[in-house]
Structures are given as structure tokens and as C-alpha cells.
Amino acid sequence: MLQHEHQDVVLQSARTISIIGDAIQKMEQQEKSVPLNACVYMWEKLLTHLSSILQNHENAPAKAVVCDCIANIGEKSFKELPSRMQMFCCTLLIGSCSDEEATVRAAAVRALAMTVMYRTLREDICFVSDCGENILRALAEPTLVVRTKAAWALGNLSDALVLNMKEPEIE
């Protein structure tokens, strides 16, 4: 369905995946979690198809939802993804911060703000630096929705930096 010729089908399919990811994270918080290996398997299978929407589609709403999907992977599943998939997700989000459409840029900045809180990513100084650069650029945007998401993202980035300072094993 993510490769369907009708763009509304692609959009709604991506929204469904985002909702499922969000529900899985909420279940984890209530200690009713789905088996981690099942979540990782699901994301490994879906990420290639989701990335094709970001890379090839003119469908801005679907591209924004794909950024939400990546944000909804969740820290536990993200940590267990192969490192190449983790890097792929980060690259997709950082690239989407420069998209032509403001809604996509806003969604990408929001997703970066969520992922920078993951321990595995906040320990990566290059990723934190890339997040900071993209957030600062988004704060200077003329579009209100992008600036609003960037302001929230700056708060999360600050929280991530404070957490890094509190944990001495992080360089």
C-alpha cells in the first residue's frame, strides 16, 4: 500500500503505520509491551518502503507522516535496529529538514527532537551537532509551523545535553 499509485492510499497507509508505532510506545509505557523482536522486525521491513516516500514522492503530506513514523519507532526498537538502519533513519530526517515543503520540514524537526532524546543518539556528538544545526536553521524560518516545532525541538535538544552532562560515561 505504501507504493500504491493513488497518493491518498499512500498517505493513509503511512498514517496507519505511524499510529501503530505510537500505540506500541504507549503500550511499553504501561508495561504491556509487544515483543521487542517483533517490533524491530516490523520496522526493518517497513523502513525501506517508508524511505521511498521521502525520497521519491511529491506527496508532501505523506512525506511529513513518514517523518512521524520514524519518530514513532521508539527508543527500545531503534536501539535494536541494525546500525545501518539507524544511520539511514537519521539521514532521512536530517535530509527532510531541507525539504521544499514547510510541513515536511516541521515534521522532520519534530522527529529529530524526539530521536535526540534516545540515549544511543544523544551520545553521538555528530548527530547532536546535526540536530542543533537543523534546529537553529528552522528557528530562522519564515513559516510559523516550522519555527514552532523548532522551538520545541530546542527544548528537547537542551534536555539531551543536560542528560549527557549528568551521565559521566558520555563523552
Q: What is the pLDDT of residue 4?
A: 84
Q: Yes or no: say if 111 and 68 are a contact pair by the CB < 8 Å rule.
A: yes
Q: What is the pLDDT of residue 169?
A: 60
Q: What is the pLDDT of residue 20?
A: 95
Sorted by where each starts, the structural domains of the chain and their CATH numbers stand as 7-166 (1.25.10.10)
The pTM of the full predicted model, rounded to 2 decimals, is 0.91
For residue 168, pLDDT beyond 90: no
**Model confidence over 26-64: pLDDT tens digits?**
998 888 878 999 999 999 999 999 999 988 778 999 999
Sign of CA dihedral 85, 51, 93, 39: negative
**Model confidence over 79-118: pLDDT tens digits?**
999 999 999 999 999 999 999 999 999 999 999 999 999 9
How would you class 129 by CB atoms within 10 Å of its CB: exposed for 0-12, middle for 13-18, buried for 19 or more?
A: exposed
Long-range contacts, stretch 125-129, CB < 8 angstroms, 24+ apart: 125/171, 127/90, 128/157, 128/160, 128/161, 128/164
**Model confidence over 6-20: pLDDT tens digits?**
888 999 999 999 999
DSSP character for 35? P
